[in-house]
Amino acid sequence: MQFATLEWKNGLPFATDFGDIYFSNENGRQETEHVFVQGNQLETRFPHAQAGFNIIETGFGTGLNFFVVATKWLQLAPANSHLTFISTEKYPISYTDMQLACQHWPEFAELQQFFLPHYAQLKAGQNIWRITPQLTLQLWIADVMDALPKVTATADAWLLDGFAPARNPTMWSEHLFKQMARLSKPEISTFSTFTSAGHVRRGLLAAGFEVQKRPGFGKKREMIYGSFRGQP
Ligand SMILES: C[S@@+](CC[C@H](N)C(=O)[O-])C[C@H]1O[C@@H](n2cnc3c(N)ncnc32)[C@H](O)[C@@H]1O
């Protein structure tokens, strides 16, 4: 397992190898809400998710998206319904860094209490952790391209994270978009991402997704979101 090279700058985690941040300096939590929660209409969909809900994320990082989304699930979903949050991470942050990152978000302290003992046992490959009775985290410590072909769940929503495409071009590839199509169902699966890079848009369109733009978070002009229409 190769851990991330991470620096703490003004109390915020920075990935030295990618020259990029893990979450927004302005307000990481609000960015997650804007890009991923609103982008996939999770607050509208969770209350109706009687049969459960699967989320697939690329790039687990500090787990901020997980904590935000899981908290919404526990607040909004039917009590007997289950969220499976599947995420991939090629360069996990160390347990010590994860503890520090968690301290940044005391509002998720209860969930973090259940999560951190599992993270302390992190291993390469697939980790499956029952965080609460309504919530499972399936965390693949692997390149997203090695992990997704082994996933069998249908994604209700995709959270496309993973550093800016210009800094991490190999992740935002045709292989990723093809795997997304394989794990998506028409009229069910949605996606959102902070980027609006042209090749990401074109790749998603070619894989069978309809793609829309909306204003990005903070200084970012645009982001994209959409849903699966079916294999072209
Ligand atoms: C911007 S950070 C993600 C932030 C994260 N979602 C959070 O809530 O903290 C991007 C993450 O993607 C991971 N990553 C980059 N390339 C990857 C790849 N090919 N496969 C899996 N993970 C990757 C990085 O190591 C990093 O942790």
pLDDT in tens, 167-202: 888 999 999 999 999 999 999 999 999 999 999 999
Q: Which atom of ligand 1 is nearest to the CA of 143?
A: 20
Q: How many angstroms separate the CA atoms of 143 and 81, rounded?
A: 30
Ligand 1 mutation target, pool 12, 22, 150, most atoms within 8 A of CB: 22
Would you place residue 160 in the very low, low, confident or very high pLDDT band (cuts 50, 70, 90)?
very high
CA of 22 to the centre of ligand 1 (A): 8
Q: Which atom of ligand 1 is nearest to the CA of 170?
A: 19
- pLDDT tens-place string over residues 11-38: 899 999 888 889 887 799 999 999 999 9
Q: 1 in a domain, yes or no?
A: no
- Quick one: DSSP state of residue 37? I
Q: 35 in a domain, yes or no?
A: yes
Residue 183 sits in which domain range? 6-228
Q: What is the pLDDT of residue 161?
A: 93
CA of 90 to the centre of ligand 1 (A): 7
Q: Which residue, by CA, sits nearest to atom 13 of ligand 1? A: 59
CB distance 203 to ligand 1 below 6 Å: no
Q: 18 in a domain, yes or no?
A: yes
CA of 50 to the centre of ligand 1 (A): 30
CB distance 52 to ligand 1 below 6 Å: no
Structural domains in the chain (count): 1
Q: 219 in a domain, yes or no?
A: yes
CA of 165 to the centre of ligand 1 (A): 11
Q: 110 in a domain, yes or no?
A: yes
Q: How many angstroms separate the CA atoms of 223 and 204, rounded?
A: 13
Q: What is the pLDDT of residue 232?
A: 79
CB distance 39 to ligand 1 below 6 Å: no
**What's the CATH number where 203 sits?**
3.40.50.150
Q: 95 in a domain, yes or no?
A: yes
C-alpha to C-alpha distances, 75 to 46, 70, 135, nearest whole angstrom? 9, 9, 12
Q: 30 in a domain, yes or no?
A: yes
Q: What is the pLDDT of residue 101?
A: 94
CA of 89 to the centre of ligand 1 (A): 6
Read off the pTM. Answer: 0.97
- Rounded to 5°, angle at Cα 55 from 171 and 213: 65
DSSP, residue by residue, 18-33 = TTEESS-TTTHHHHHI
CA of 58 to the centre of ligand 1 (A): 6
- pLDDT tens-place string over residues 97-155: 999 999 999 999 999 999 999 999 999 999 999 999 999 999 999 999 999 999 999 99
Q: What is the pLDDT of residue 138?
A: 98
Q: How many angstroms separate the CA atoms of 102 and 180, rounded?
A: 29
Q: What is the mean pLDDT of the chain?
A: 95
Q: What is the pLDDT of residue 10?
A: 84
Q: 48 in a domain, yes or no?
A: yes
Q: What is the pLDDT of residue 191?
A: 98
- pLDDT tens-place string over residues 55-91: 999 999 999 999 999 999 999 999 999 999 999 999 9
